Structure 1
Amino acid sequence: MKVQGILVGLYFYLICPTNIFGLWWAVGSPLVVLDPNSICRKSKRLAGKQREICKKEPEIVREVANGAKLALKECQWQFRKRRWNCDTKHHFSRVLLRDTRETAFINAVTAAGVVYTVTQACSMGHLMQCSCESEYRDISKDDKWVWGGCGDNVKFGYIKSAEFMDARPKKKRVDLRTLILQHNNEAGRLAVKQNMRKECKCHGLSGTCTLKTCWRKMPIFRHVGNIIKKAFDSSAKVQITNDGKRIIPEKDSIKRPTREDLVYSEKSPSYCNKNRKYGSLGTRGRECDPNHEGVGGCGILCCNRGYTKNQITVRENCKCRFHWCCEVICETCVTKKTVHKCN
Structure 2
Amino acid sequence: MRLLMVIAILIFAMPMTGFGWAEGTNILLDPNLMCKKTRRLRGKLAEICRHDSALLKEIIINGINLGFRECEFQFRNRRWNCTVLRKSMRKILMRDSRETGFVNAITAAGVTYAVTKACTMGQLVECSCDKAHMRRNGGQPQMVTAATAEAALERQQQAAMLRQQMPLQDQHPSQRLSRMNNASTMTDIAPVEHRGGRNRRPGGRRGRRKFWDNIKFPEGQWEWGGCSDNVNFGLRHSRVFLDAKQRQRRSDLGTLVKFHNNNAGRLAIRDAMRLECKCHGLSGSCTVKTCWLKMPPFREVAGRLRDRYDSARKVTLRNDGNSFMPESPHARPANKYQLVFADDSPDFCTPNSKTGALGTQGRECNVTSSGSDRCDRLCCNRGHTRRIVEEQTNCKCVFKWCCEVTCEKCLEHRAVNTCL
Instruction: Tell whether the structures are fold-level matches, with TM greater than 0.5.
Output: yes
Moved more, 105-114 or 138-147: 138-147
Pick aligned residue for 1:91 from 82, 88, 98:
88
Aligned equivalents of 2:377 and 2:268: distance in 1?
Answer: 29
Whether 1:56 aligns to 2:51 is yes
- Once the two structures are TM-superposed, the CA of residue 166 in structure 1 deviates from its matched residue by 1.0
CA deviations over 1:160-184 (Å, ceiling 9, x no partner): 0011111135695571111000000
Instruction: Give the corresponding residue for 1:195.
Output: 272
**Residues 5/131 of structure 1: CA separation in 2 closer, same or farther (3 Å cut):** same
**Residues 155/100 of structure 1: CA separation in 2 closer, same or farther (3 Å cut):** same
CA deviations over 1:39-86 (Å, ceiling 9, x no partner): 645547978754442113222211121011111111011101100001
CA deviations over 1:222-275 (Å, ceiling 9, x no partner): 110011111101001101111111111011111100000000100000000011
Matched pairs, number: 322
Pick aligned residue for 1:3 from 13, 19, 26:
19
Instruction: Give the corresponding residue for 1:248.
Output: 325
Aligned equivalents of 1:44 and 1:6: distance in 2?
Answer: 20
Aligned equivalents of 2:44 and 2:249: distance in 1?
Answer: 13
Whether 1:122 aligns to 2:119 is yes
Moved more, 139-148 or 71-80: 139-148
Aligned equivalents of 2:113 and 2:22: distance in 1?
Answer: 21
Moved more, 166-175 or 70-79: 166-175
Higher helix share: 2
Aligned equivalents of 1:223 and 1:275: distance in 2?
Answer: 32
Aligned equivalents of 2:257 and 2:247: distance in 1?
Answer: 18
Aligned equivalents of 1:77 and 1:100: distance in 2?
Answer: 19
Contact 2:365 2:419 in 1 (8 A): yes
Moved more, 215-224 or 308-317: 308-317
- Listed as ranges, the matches of 1:124-203 within 5 Å are 124-137=121-134, 138=142, 140-141=144-145, 143-169=220-246, 175-203=252-280
**Residues 323/163 of structure 1: CA separation in 2 closer, same or farther (3 Å cut):** same
Letter in 2 for 1:4: G
Aligned equivalents of 1:189 and 1:125: distance in 2?
Answer: 21
Contact 2:247 2:255 in 1 (8 A): no
- Listed as ranges, the matches of 1:1-343 within 5 Å are 3-5=19-21, 7-8=23-24, 12-13=26-27, 25=29, 40-41=35-36, 43=38, 50-64=45-59, 65-89=61-85, 90-137=87-134, 138=142, 140-141=144-145, 143-169=220-246, 175-322=252-399, 328-343=405-420
Structure with more contact order per residue of length (Cα contacts < 8 Å, sep ≥ 6): 2
Contiguous gaps of at least 5 residues in structure 2: 1-15, 135-141, 147-219
**Residues 39/328 of structure 1: CA separation in 2 closer, same or farther (3 Å cut):** farther
* Residue aligned with 1:310, SS: strand
Aligned equivalents of 2:74 and 2:236: distance in 1?
Answer: 26
Moved more, 110-119 or 309-318: 309-318
CA deviations over 1:194-219 (Å, ceiling 9, x no partner): 11000011011111102200000011
**Residues 243/111 of structure 1: CA separation in 2 closer, same or farther (3 Å cut):** same
Contiguous gaps of at least 5 residues in structure 1: 15-24, 27-33
Letter in 2 for 1:206: S
* Residue aligned with 1:339, SS: strand
Which 4+ residue blocks in structure 1 deviate beyond 6 angstroms?
Answer: 44-48
Aligned equivalents of 2:108 and 2:35: distance in 1?
Answer: 19
Letter in 2 for 1:77: F
Aligned equivalents of 2:386 and 2:303: distance in 1?
Answer: 32
Letter in 1 for 2:359: G
Aligned equivalents of 1:60 and 1:203: distance in 2?
Answer: 35
Instruction: Give the corresponding residue for 1:18.
Output: none
What TM-score, normalized by structure 1, do the two folds share? 0.86
CA deviations over 1:69-107 (Å, ceiling 9, x no partner): 111111011101100001112522111110000000000
What TM-score, normalized by structure 2, do the two folds share? 0.71
Aligned equivalents of 2:21 and 2:36: distance in 1?
Answer: 22
- Once the two structures are TM-superposed, the CA of residue 144 in structure 1 deviates from its matched residue by 3.1
Instruction: Give the share of equivalent positions with the same residue, in percent.
Output: 46
* Residue aligned with 2:235, SS: helix
Aligned equivalents of 1:284 and 1:5: distance in 2?
Answer: 29
Moved more, 96-105 or 328-337: 328-337
- Once the two structures are TM-superposed, the CA of residue 327 in structure 1 deviates from its matched residue by 5.2
Bigger radius of gyration, 1 or 2?
2
**Residues 206/7 of structure 1: CA separation in 2 closer, same or farther (3 Å cut):** farther
- Once the two structures are TM-superposed, the CA of residue 134 in structure 1 deviates from its matched residue by 1.7
- Once the two structures are TM-superposed, the CA of residue 309 in structure 1 deviates from its matched residue by 1.1
Aligned equivalents of 2:238 and 2:278: distance in 1?
Answer: 30
**Residues 47/338 of structure 1: CA separation in 2 closer, same or farther (3 Å cut):** farther
